[in-house]
Amino acid sequence: MEKLKLSNNVEIPALGLGTYLLEPSDAQKSVETALKDGYSLIDTANAYCNETAVGRGIRNSGVGREDVFLSTKLWPTVYEDENAVDDTLRRLGVDYLDLLFIHQPAGNFIEGYRQLERAYKAGKIRSIGISNFHGEKLSRLLENAEIKPHVIQLEAHPYCTEDEIMEKLRPYGTRLMSWYPLGHGDSRLLNEEVFARLAEKYGKTPAQIILRWHTQMGFIVIPGSRNPEHIRDNRDIFDFVLTADEMDEIGKLNDNVRYYNATDESEERFATVELDFDRD
Ligand SMILES: NC(=O)c1ccc[n+]([C@@H]2O[C@H](COP(=O)([O-])OP(=O)(O)OC[C@H]3O[C@@H](n4cnc5c(N)ncnc54)[C@H](OP(=O)(O)O)[C@@H]3O)[C@@H](O)[C@H]2O)c1
């Protein structure tokens, strides 16, 4: 598994398993399968309401805590709750996190970010992330951040590489972690002719070509899956290298079109959405 370095020198695996929309039982199984198959990065969130199951999956896998890079996200309703980080640790059954994000640019996100900074200084989290920040809210966050974010999680795939946001973050060395890396399974993306052709050339699947493209772009990639075969396939992307011309050709698909488009209103609504994080 290839690793990348964050701006604070913490090493992060280039590929991991995402657990969005996985019901607790599926999340537990997928995490167990992935870790047994050689994954070492797992991404979850308070809002996925599966952290307890993810923690069980990690323990059942038999893989040591020190060999798992665990990332999760605080939901806006707990940005001002001083127990939010400890509650997250309790649900996952761990005493530190490798990466903790604030999930949405909603509510009192400055206070949410301060919680991350305090947890970082207290040794409860090894790196700090933000997710879905853009525009004026991103500027405000950066102006108020004593420790600049090590990672930003954004929707990113060959149709959208988030160049404007990443340009703004370039001075801080913030890494991009791609969500919806396979376009959330969109068949139009998976069936693009260029991926079929490269899949044939390298003896891989179109999904593997897309994931390899992410890692060669320097992105951290976290495809989600409840299918053990896909989980295995998605890991097997480090035994070939796309050429510069092939990377350029894939780059031509980019027209900065996202599948999910938030508005200020829809974002702010997140601050009022109460979820049962302890569901399982
Ligand atoms: N920060 C945020 O706001 C945010 C938002 C969304 C997602 N995320 C994170 O990003 C992760 C990834 O996003 P996602 O899971 O929604 O989208 P995704 O990884 O782009 O796509 C997942 C879909 O692709 C399919 N798939 C996976 N591997 C495949 C393969 N090898 N061949 C064909 N199809 C394949 C999966 O189906 P199968 O189950 O059948 O494999 C699933 O339907 C999430 O799990 C979550 O951790 C973060």
Q: Is residue 3 part of a domain?
A: no
Q: Is residue 268 part of a domain?
A: yes
Q: What CATH number is attached to the domain comprising 122?
A: 3.20.20.100
Give the pLDDT confidence score for residue 168 in this predicted structure: 98
Q: Is residue 211 part of a domain?
A: yes
Whether ligand 1 lies within 6 angstroms of the CB of 18 is answered as: yes
Query: Domains in the chain: how many in total?
Result: 1
Indicate which residue of 48, 113, 120, 159 is catalytic.
Answer: 48
Tell me the average pLDDT across 242-250: 98
What's the 185 CA to ligand 1 centre distance in angstroms?
7
Domain of residue 30: give its range.
9-272
Q: Is residue 50 part of a domain?
A: yes
Alpha carbon nearest to ligand 1 atom 6, residue: 179
pLDDT band for position 226 (cuts 50, 70, 90) = confident
Q: Is residue 280 part of a domain?
A: no
- Helix axis angle, 244-251 relative to 193-202, nearest 10°? 160
In sequence order, which ranges of 40-134 are alpha helices (DSSP H)?
Answer: 51-61, 84-92, 109-121
21-49 per-position pLDDT tens digit: 999 999 999 999 999 999 999 999 999 99
Say which amino acid occupies 248: D
209-240 in b/e form (b: 16+ CB < 10 A) is: bbbbbbbbbebbbbbbbbeeebbebbbebeee
Q: Is residue 279 part of a domain?
A: no
Q: Is residue 154 part of a domain?
A: yes
CB 204 within 8 Å of CB 238: no
Per the annotation, the verdict on 20 as an active-site residue is no
Whether ligand 1 lies within 6 angstroms of the CB of 182 is answered as: yes
**Can you tell me which atom of ligand 1 is nearest the CA of 177?**
10
Mutate to test the pocket of ligand 1, among 71, 102, 151, 182 (most ligand atoms within 8 A of CB): 182
Q: Is residue 145 part of a domain?
A: yes
